Structure 1
Amino acid sequence: METTSRVGAGTAPDTTTAEDPQGTATADGVSAARRTVVDGFLAATFPWYGLDGAFTGPRRLMQVGTAADGTVQHGSIGHGDELSVREAGAEKQRFAVVVSMASSPVRRSGDGTGVLDATTVSSAAWLAGSGLLACTWPAQMDHSLRDDWLDQQTETAFELADDLDGPAWSALSLPVDGVPVHFHYRESEYGWVLAGSTPEGVHLGAYGRGMSAYGLGFSLIEDIETYA
């Protein structure tokens, strides 16, 4: 799947000042950096999903991924603690990230030089698995070994996502807008990953740690700008 990230894996770049602690404010009171993030989500042609109203903690926009032609292909919504592998006690964080991904067939690339793979539930599982790895690599690991560890674990995550009917995955039914939906689910020492598709055809992936996946529910986000 050929996508690029529009913004960083956590939040928008820091543009704060003493006079404007939220960044360079726009006319509607939203910082310029945050406005860039919101605009990326607004450019999508598919709906976004997050945890349903049973979750009452903080929520935030994380990042969108785009194809070579700039089309938004997927994006992530964070819930709970902000993700960090650099802070002491990061292993005790409680968070869940929901990945929404457009369903699309095999198609020509934007520059006409090739084709883009179709997006499937496996694609969402891969995004969720790699997202979990990016925020949970062992903090005590020497930085010289980090890249090798991530390469190895990322390859494993790709292979697992390509075999959703394999023994590494179990079935889990969770509500999406109140309707039970079948998800593929797996746990590891780093957290959990799940993936499925909404009745509307959007592929959903999710990953988390410190929050049980068994009690989660998902719902369509009516107004993504409220997350700004």
Structure 2
Amino acid sequence: METTSREADQTADGPEPAFHGRRTLDDYARASFPWYGLDEAFTGPRWLMQVAAAADGVVQHGSLGHGDVPSIRSDAAATLRERFAVVVTLAASPVRRSGDGTGVLDATTVSSAAWLAGSGLLAHTWPPQLDHALRDDWLDQQTETAFVLADDLDGPEWSLLSLPVNGEPTPFHYRETDFGWVLAGSTSDTSGTSGTEGPPGVHLGAYGRGMSAYGLGFSVVPDVASYTAETPYV
């Protein structure tokens, strides 16, 4: 798959606490690409999550949350009552040298966004029949499955869904799981070569539970400071 390393992405976008306050906003502000979230049709809570950067400090991707703050619970009924959607923005990048000059980073693609979204959903999932000792093994297995599925977006596990991005119908790859849904797509001009006006292209991933993906729309976030860092990401 033309995606970033599974190990690096899992560390960067896994179940770790978000930074809080000014440090978080500064991290988002360092990105060279626009951040995306749910459009103005969503009127619920919005909250910051985390930003992933390369060794040289270049921001690669990050997440913004909407609705309830998801938590890992062994109580299936309580977990299913959560209503949230997380939007992952991933910089569209060609094959490039790593920040420390020691290797090459693969190009980012829609599959990369699908992988980040799939692993993000798993980070907030705990099947009620598992105890603490077994969850790590289950998570490793399911994370590997999510990677394989992200590498086969034309496969039978995925369907196509058209959703608005900045008001324009945009195709997304979509799949449902026992624990929520995952989708991935790209905004216009991810090559960065068209010269047209507007925000640079990015790859978008999203995952959620309790909120239907069919009614969602995405748009550029004009001010990331409108997302609160007061609610802890757990």
TM-score (norm 1): 0.86
Residue 196 (structure 1) shift:
0.2
Contact 1:84 1:135 in 2 (8 A): yes
Separation in 2, partners of 1:94, 1:168: 23
Partner of 2:178: 189
Residue 55 (structure 1) shift:
0.5
Matches within 5 A, 1:75-224: 75-86=62-73, 88=75, 89-199=78-188, 200-224=200-224
Superposed CA deviations along residues 100-154 of structure 1, whole A, max 9, x for unmatched, are 0000011111111111111000000000000000001224521111111001000
Matches within 5 A, 1:13-32: none
* Bigger Rg over Cα: 1
Separation in 1, partners of 2:129, 2:84: 21
Contact 1:100 1:204 in 2 (8 A): yes
Could you tell me which amino acid in structure 2 is paired with residue 80 of structure 1?
Answer: G
Could you tell me which amino acid in structure 2 is paired with residue 70 of structure 1?
Answer: G
Contact 1:8 1:63 in 2 (8 A): no
3-state SS, counterpart of residue 82 of structure 1: coil
Partner of 2:41: 54
RMSD: 1.7
3-state SS, counterpart of residue 124 of structure 2: helix
Could you tell me which amino acid in structure 1 is paired with residue 174 of structure 2?
Answer: Y
Separation in 2, partners of 1:191, 1:73: 25
Separation in 1, partners of 2:40, 2:210: 19
Could you tell me which amino acid in structure 1 is paired with residue 139 of structure 2?
Answer: L
TM-score (norm 2): 0.84
Contact 2:13 2:62 in 1 (8 A): no
Structure 1 unaligned segments of length 5 or more: list them.
Answer: 13-32
Partner of 1:70: 57
Greater RCO between the two (CA within 8 Å, min separation 6)? 2
Superposed CA deviations along residues 2-21 of structure 1, whole A, max 9, x for unmatched, are 44539964544xxxxxxxxx
Identity percentage of aligned residues: 70
